[in-house]
Structures are given as structure tokens and as C-alpha cells.
Structure 1
């Protein structure tokens, strides 16, 4: 697993834990940074803080393209992987869109349900189509 892959997984851990603890989306980041166990990279911080800052727009885009799925109905891992990938697609210029998608799909397959990889891929594919057609 590459360095950025680990950083994405750590960002997922922080976002998922924050939701479970009901601390607000990035609410556990400060504590994780303080203990630094497991280590929290600057890229992880960038992802978590970026998702938190852009949450409203990111969530709206996900819901619009999830076709019949509300955020609450999605598994928490899928929801937060989508948030991270959408943030990278829209706001991180040095990560190719295909990399953001493939990383999210790989983590969904590894950490979530049997159908999560194809679900995440489908939602992100629609977002990329929308983005390409509006450019």
C-alpha cells in the first residue's frame, strides 16, 4: 500500500470515527493528531479538513448522483470514502481523477460490503461524467 493510500485510509478512519462518536465530521482529528497513534500525516489532515470545509457541497453532489440513496442509508464507510474521493476530484490538483476513484473503490472492496466497490465506482463515475460534460 502506497503512502497516499495509507493517508486516505487514516482520513477514512477519522471521518468514520467522528460519525460514530457523533462529534461532528472531523471531531476526532485533534485527538488523533495529539496521540499520533497511528501516525497522522499532513495529507490526512488536508483530506479531513477539506471534507469538513466542503461537506455541504460534497454531500449534495453525492446524493444527487447516488440515485435513490440518501446519505443516511449508505454504509458509513462508503459515505466517507465518497466524501474523500469527491474532495480529491474537486480540490486536489495533483491527484488524477482516476486515482481518486480507484483508491476509493479499492478501500470500499476491502473495508465495506460486497456491493460497495461497484456502488462507489458508479457514484464517482456519474460525478466524473457530470464534471466532464460541464467543462
Structure 2
């Protein structure tokens, strides 16, 4: 078994659910579609006689629905706390997705320890984007964690949050699923691992190791034939 596959086995189902949520948010922004609609599509594809995607984990769906509803408030909070040398709208879209998942957990899901949300977000960032992204994602989430109770209180009144938001917080508002800027190197790296890395991460426990290894072997043989 490869080192990468062993690495996945060290993570629990919630880590995989977060990874898939990041994947879906990234896809939604890139395609300019509602992430909730992507979830619906995944459910339909997973119910096919010969499904081509794994079922969406319940916690992934919880994250996506939560981020979709609270997106505007989350983005205001993120813009307030992101490092001065960065702006939310200019980040790679995969980093925005990671920040949105983690900040939603920190503010809206009190069942998840704040430290856990941060640590796993940084780990996902290191896997998808690299050390540079991990550093400012860590700094942003740490800054939010230091006043998380205040943020939770403010989040209870989203209309006030949006009314108080300053236009200077960002160069320009980011439409919910707009990814009009050209992809940078981080986005390209993320797309390159999408099929191999993310799909494996999202596999559910119901999929047996035998079936899993069989699929990997089949893909390898097909690639070899094409070569």
C-alpha cells in the first residue's frame, strides 16, 4: 500500500467529510453554481445502478448547507481577520473554500472544538496548497479563534453584520460562487489532485478494501494500455 493511501487511513470520517466539502465548494465556485445543487447531483449519481461517485457523507452535506446559508456573514468575518497583505477576493479559490469550511465550524458548529477546526483546516491547506497557504490560513483562523464568542454573538444577527461591513474590507465583493480570476498555481495543483486525491478521501467506510484496490488496479491497467 502506498504512503499516500496509508496517510488517508490515519484520518477519521470527519476529516474526509471536510475535504470533500472543500472539494465541492471549490467546484461550485469554479463552475459558478450553487454547492447545494452539486450535493443533489451527487446524491442522484450515487443512487445509480452503477454509481460513478461515492455517496456524500452526512457531515459533508451539513457543512455545505451551512456555508451556503451563512456565506455572506462568514466572508465578512474572514475579511476582517485575514492578514493585511492578503484579501479574501484575491486568495486562491481552494483557500477560500478551506477558510469557509473551518470558519463555519468554529462559529456555527459548537460541537467541534475550535482547535480541531483550525488544525484540520491547516492540514488540508498543506495538502492542497502548500506551506504559504497554510501559514496565512492558520493566522486568520487563530485570529478568529481569539474572539470566537464575540463572532458567534454577532453571527446571531447577520443583518447587522452585513450592515456594518465596510466596503474597504476587500478590493471587491466576491459573488457567492464566482471564480472569474485566472487560476493561480495553487488552484492548478488542486485541480490536478482532484480525481485521485479527493475522490479517494471521500470514499465511505462501506467500500471494502478489496473493491478499492480492484478499482485502483483497473485504472492503472487502463492507463498502461493507453500508453
Match of 1:39 in 2: 55
Match of 1:63 in 2: 79
Match of 2:129 in 1: 112
In the TM superposition, 1:1-135 aligns within 5 A as: 1-36=11-46, 37-68=53-84, 69-131=86-148
Alpha-carbon offset, residue 132 of structure 1? 5.3
**Would the aligned equivalents of 2:126 and 2:133 in 1 still touch at CA under 8 Å?**
yes
Task: Give the number of aligned pairs.
Answer: 135
Q: Is the deviation greater in 47-56 or in 19-28?
A: 19-28
Q: CA RMSD in A?
A: 1.7
Q: Which runs of 5+ in 2 are unaligned?
A: 1-10, 47-52, 154-227
Q: Which has the higher contact order (CA 8 A, sep 6+)?
A: 2
**Would the aligned equivalents of 1:14 and 1:26 in 2 still touch at CA under 8 Å?**
no
Alpha-carbon offset, residue 113 of structure 1? 3.4
Quick one: distance in 1 between partners of 2:112 and 2:25? 20
Q: Is the deviation greater in 107-116 or in 47-56?
A: 107-116
**Would the aligned equivalents of 2:17 and 2:60 in 1 still touch at CA under 8 Å?**
yes
**Would the aligned equivalents of 1:15 and 1:26 in 2 still touch at CA under 8 Å?**
no
Which structure has the larger Rg?
2
Alpha-carbon offset, residue 58 of structure 1? 0.3
Post-superposition CA distance 1:53-110 (Å, at most 9, x none): 0001100000111133322211111111110111101111221000000000000000
Match of 2:157 in 1: none
**Would the aligned equivalents of 2:43 and 2:56 in 1 still touch at CA under 8 Å?**
yes
Post-superposition CA distance 1:14-50 (Å, at most 9, x none): 1000001111354422112222313211100000000
Q: Is the deviation greater in 80-89 or in 18-27?
A: 18-27
| Segments ≥4 residues shifted beyond 3 Å | 24-27, 132-135
Q: Is the deviation greater in 64-73 or in 117-126?
A: 64-73
SS at 2:111 equivalent: coil
Quick one: distance in 2 between partners of 1:11 and 1:133? 26
